[in-house]
Amino acid sequence: MKVLILGGTGVISREIVRQLLARGNEVAVFNRGSKALPFAKDVEQLVGDRMRRDEFEAAMQRTRYDVVIDMICFTADDARSTARAFGGNAGHLVVTSSIAAYKRPYRSVPTVEAMETLWDDPAFPYAFNKAEMEKELWKSIRQDKLPITIVRPSLTYGPGAANIGVLRQNFGIVDRIRRCKPLVMFGDGSTSWTFTFVPDLAKAFVAIAGNAKTFGEDYHVTGDECCIWEDLYREFGRLVGRAPKIVHIPSELLYSAAPRLCSHLYFEKTYAGLFDNSKLRSAVPGPGGFLGLALMNLDGLGGADPSHFLKREAPRSS
């Protein structure tokens, strides 16, 4: 297949590119060209800015791809632009949303796609914008009959990821555990959650790409292992041989103190994140990684670059 990825530089999209190339696909990436790519010699690189709508859409309308995977679609305007750019010249559009787009509280646990509605509160902009984006995609599916598939990942991590920590950053997690310094945990740490490993998510994207059974459908793609949030830091501690010192703080207090940093905890992660992947598996193989094994492959544990997890905090002046 001839596949275009909008993005191609992030943790997830790099792995999608790797797996697509391993299967012999012809891959192109579109981005601003500001980052060096480890696979640069193996892909076609298209440089541009999707926010310059007219230029982006005109350039893309001159292309022909079997599959376009949009990893950088965040708003309703982005969705409309993607539809205009590829509506008549791509065999399949795969657009990345998020489980954040589901309205809380969930109607089903484990969550089933058909049971849920979309987020409608602008107080949590990321979720609201993803939900508005999806609404536009559904218009294109139903009115224009475009071959679109919506994919909703959950919290996904792997080599190079910088968002697995509760505060959406990895810096110093292992270092703090080793030095018996505290790690913040929202609530009592017992909220159920499903973590997803990057290669497993990428496997699902690759299996969905060009699969006619997935046209006009939506899928959440998550791991299947049921954890609680505190398992995350306990597993880090097990791998480095020291129990973490965890400090529990109510999510409401964290949100009131740092709304931009902690809105995802208050609005999203205080609700159980357990997902039924049956719909996905009816069409393609689903992810199946486990937390401990996956963490061993993260930078600073089993990976080559320890910067995210082992970096010591700079001393503070008194």
CA 118 – CA 130 distance, rounded (Å): 9
> Which distant-in-sequence residues (6+ apart) come within 8 Å of 261 by Cβ?
167, 168, 254
Q: With b meaning 16 or more CB within 10 Å and e meaning fewer, what string describes 216-232?
A: bbbbbbbbbbebebbbb
* Tens digits of pLDDT across the chain (318 residues): 999 999 999 999 999 999 999 999 999 999 999 888 888 899 999 999 999 999 999 999 999 999 999 999 999 999 999 999 999 999 999 999 999 999 999 999 999 999 999 999 999 999 999 999 999 999 999 999 999 999 999 988 887 777 778 887 666 788 889 999 999 999 999 999 998 889 999 999 999 999 999 999 999 999 888 899 999 999 889 888 999 999 999 999 999 999 999 999 999 999 999 999 999 999 886 565 556 556 666 654 544 344 444 445 544 443
- Of the candidates 239, 300, 238, 264, the one whose C-alpha atom is nearest the C-alpha of residue 167 is 264
pLDDT at 147: 98
Q: What is the DSSP string of 129-170?
A: HHHHHHHHHHHHHHTS---EEEEEE-SEE-TT----STTS--
Residue 248: in which H helix or E strand, if any?
strand 245-249
DSSP class of residue 275?
Answer: B
Give yes or no for a contact between 217 and 276, defined as CB atoms under 8 angstroms apart. Answer: no
**Burial letters for 27-57: b for 16+ Cβ neighbours within 10 Å, e otherwise?**
bbbbbeeeeebeeeeebeebeeebeeeeebb
Q: State the Cα–Cα distance between residues 58 and 285, nearest whole angstrom.
A: 36
Query: Is the backbone peptide bond immediately before 110 cis, with ω within 30 degrees of 0?
Result: yes
Distance CA 297, CA 308 (A): 13
The structural domains of the chain, ordered by start, are 2-156+196-221 (3.40.50.720), 159-194+225-274+289-310 (3.90.25)
Residues 15, 20: Cα–Cα separation, whole Å: 8
3-state secondary structure of 123: coil
3-state helix, strand, coil in the chain (%, to 5): 40, 20, 40
Collapsed DSSP state (helix, strand, coil) of residue 68: strand
pLDDT of 40: 87
- CA dist 117 and 69 (Å) reads 24
Query: Per-residue b/e over 129-151, b at no fewer than 16 CB within 10 Å?
Result: bbbbbbebbbebbeeeebbbbbb
